[in-house]
Every structure is written in C-alpha cells, then in structure tokens.
Amino acid sequence: MNPSIAHPRLQAYPEPITQGRPVRLRTRRVKRSRQIKDRFVIFTQVFIPDPASVGQHIADVAFEMARRGYKVRVYTANRGYDDPSVKYPKREVINGVDVFRLPLSSFGKRSILTRIIGTASFMIQAVTRGIFMQNLAGILFSTSPPLVGIVATVVRMFRGVPLAYWAMDLNPDQLLALNKIPKGGLVARTLEAGNRLVLQNATLVVALDRFMADRLRPRGRLRDKMVVIPPWPHETFVDPVPHEKNPFRKKHGLDDKFVVMYSGNHSPSNPLNTLLDAAVRLKDDARIRFAFVGGGIGKKAVEEFVTSHKLTNCLTLPYQPMSELRYSLSAADVHAVSLGNEMVGIIHPCKVYGAMAVARPVLFLGPAPSHIADLVDEHRFGVHHAHGQVDAVVASIQRLSHERRETLEAMGREGQQVLRESLSQEILCGRFCDGMELMLLKRLI
C-alpha cells in the first residue's frame, strides 16, 4: 500500500497554542524502505547567509534532510535579498547541502521593476535546471519569489516528481489587503489561478497557522495533504544573553536603558505607526529607548519618521548577522511584534519566536483573534493592544519599564517554556522533515 501524506502523525498534528496546556510533540525519523539516491531540490530566491527569515528556515529543513541521508540541492540567488551589493559564492557545500547561486536573479527590493526582473531571471533559470536535472526526486518551494510555485508545477508536468509547498505568505491576498491591486482585476485573477494550479499539483502543503489553513482550504482539495506547522526560532543562533554581558547593548549605548525592540522585516503588512507614535510620546523619558532592527520596504519610512520627529530615543539598525543574533535579540527588554489588521492568515510574524527564545516579554500590536494574539493572551508572556491604541501602548511600556527585573524575567521564561514544549526547532523542523520523507517515499513505492 502506498504511504499517504495523510499520515496519522501529521494528520493529528495539534495546534499547540490555542487552547489548554501546550502539547509536547515528539519527533522521530521515518524509516525508509531504501536509501534515496536521487536529488531533492529546493527553489528559493533567498538562502543563508542572507539574514531574511524565509531563507534561514529553508536552510534548517535543507540541513536536516541532508543529515537524514538525502542528497539536497538548493537553487538560490547570488546576491543579497535586501542588499544586492552583497554577493555570495557561485557554488558551495554547506552542512552537506549543495548550494547553486544563480546570476542576475536578485537586484534588491527598492523598486518593483528590479524585483520583477530579478524574479523573472530566477524563475527562467530554475525551471531550466529542474527540467533537465538528472535523478530529480522531489521539489520544495516557498513564496520567495512569490510565483516560484508555477516553476515547480511546470517541472512536475515534465518530470512527474512530488512537490512540497511551504506557504510562508499568501498572494494575491496580501496585495489585495494592502490595496496594491484591484479586487477582481486581471492581476488578482491571474495570481489566484496560479495559486489554485499550484495547490492542485502540490503533494504536501504546509500552512503556518490555522488562519492560513482556513484561507487555503477553499482553494483546493487539501484535506489529505495539508498540515499546520508554525515556523520555529533559530535556536542554534539564539540563546539568552544577560544584559551585563551583552556587547550589543554596550556598543549602542543601551546600558541602563529599557529597550523596546522591533527586529525583522519592516513592511506595510507589519505596521509600526502605533509604536512610532508611542516613541514620540516617550521622547523625553531618558530611561526608554526604541530599537528598530532589520530591513524591508518599510525601513526607509521608519528612518524618515525618526529623523523628521528628531527622536533621539530611537535607534535604527540593519539586519544583524546570524552570528550576532543572540546579542541583538537579547539586548531588548521587550520585543514588539506587529501584524496588520487585514493580515490574519496571510502572513505569520515569526519574529515572536525569537523573542520567546531569548526569554523576553512581547508587546503585540495587532488584531484578535490571530495566531500571536492566541499565544500572548493565553500564556501571559506579554501584552496585546490593537493598532491605534497609542495611550494604552505608552501606559504598558511605562508600566513594564518600572517592573522589577524578576517580574520581566518570569514573563520571558513563560514564553520560553511554551516554545520548548511545543514550538521548538527540534519538534517543528523534525515534523516538517517527516512530511518531506513521506512525500519522497510515496514516489518510491
């Protein structure tokens, strides 16, 4: 009998953060009937050492699959996703994974035209490699670039290999929610048709939370092939560092300051207006500092706001190298996480897991119900406010800044415990790779 993706251990996967006590999930390797010698391929425009989160998560899966004995090849861009001036080696082997970096496939995110050109170049090269590759066993793709699923589907039509679709965000949902394209227009209809084609041809579909699964479910018959697996913190690089031993705080003049940090992608999908307005209200409080760390298309707007309002209480920094991540994340006293009101089930702010990993309380700005609201409201390792509630946000920051250190540490430990019991990299990445193995085994038998 052929193994099905609706495997009992995957089908029964609980969402560990919605109700009741967190569920400890135990992973184990799926036994293979024989060693797979064919290549398992990943198409992604971003991959480590680039600091973009999607590339880091894909790297975790690639390394784990290589550790389990699979031949893994990654096709990615040869320049930085956010900073195209950064150039990476044409080919290298990282932790047993064969990484091919394609030329002229990323020109940064500063203009729509350059993004379209880079995406088109990447997709043309990827589809050519996929069609003509020898010993192709299966393909994993996500949403970077957004239409890479079409490439994987074309390769499947020629080669008949299984596809795993990791839905990191949803389009045209995001473009529609941001009013970037008209509802019912040609672009929206074309993207939606592409979505349905990809979902129809995918063998395994991974949604990041129950809200995303609800958005995907009406688009195809996904009952026997969709699982919900949240992203995980990069625990190899993230360990709590005490303030007094943290060189990041000293380097940036944060000693003796209460630091509210936003770390990650600056995007209209993760609005920061309320946090910036709170920074204006608190600009005369010498104890409090706001740190905006990361990049993205919304970074320039944050920097212009800080400059125009002469906010000396704000620090803006680019993405930090993975080797420095533990220091930058641990430098915060509270981590801010934002989700746009229309973005529930469309994107998933995985930056919350970094905050939980370094045992810091979370200030969540966004709607309820939502995945992050469920986490924070149930487990009490932070506070939750809606966008626009500037007075409430200011009051919460002031209250937290006057709390005893032991109280903040206890809140942080609560989040860290939730992560260890049900949201750790070992548990979630292991479960993800179990699904990948079942998908590849189905092809062999």
CA dist list (Å): 235 to 35, 44, 52, 199, 386? 29, 22, 16, 31, 30
Task: Read off φ and ψ for residue 140, nearest 5 degrees.
Answer: -115, 135
Q: Which long-range contacts (CB under 8 A, 24 or more apart) does 99-105 make?
A: 99/47, 99/73, 99/74, 100/73, 100/74, 100/75, 100/76, 100/129, 101/76, 101/77, 102/75, 102/76, 102/77, 102/78, 102/126, 103/78, 105/45, 105/76, 105/77, 105/78, 105/79
Q: Which two tokens stand for residue 227?
A: 């699982």
pLDDT top residue among 139 and 5:
139
Which helix (H) or strand (E) segment holds residue 151: the answer is helix 148-159
Q: What is the pLDDT of residues 69-93, one digit of tens each?
A: 999 999 999 988 777 788 999 999 9
pLDDT above 80 (res 318): yes
**334/394 Cα distance (integer angstroms):** 13
pLDDT top residue among 20 and 268:
268
Q: What sign results for the dihedral spanned by CA atoms 381, 338, 215, 222?
A: negative
Q: What is the pLDDT of residues 154-210, one digit of tens each?
A: 999 999 999 999 999 999 999 999 999 999 999 999 999 999 999 999 999 999 999
Catalogue all structural domains in the chain, each as residue range(s) with its CATH number: 8-18+28-232+424-444 (3.40.50.2000), 243-422 (3.40.50.2000)
Q: What is the pLDDT of residues 327-346, one digit of tens each?
A: 999 999 999 999 999 999 99
Q: Tell me how long the chain is.
A: 445
Contact 118, 106 (CB under 8 A): yes
Give the predicted TM-score (pTM) of the model.
Answer: 0.86
pLDDT above 90 (res 144): no
Half-sphere exposure of 324 (CA within 13 A, CB side): 15
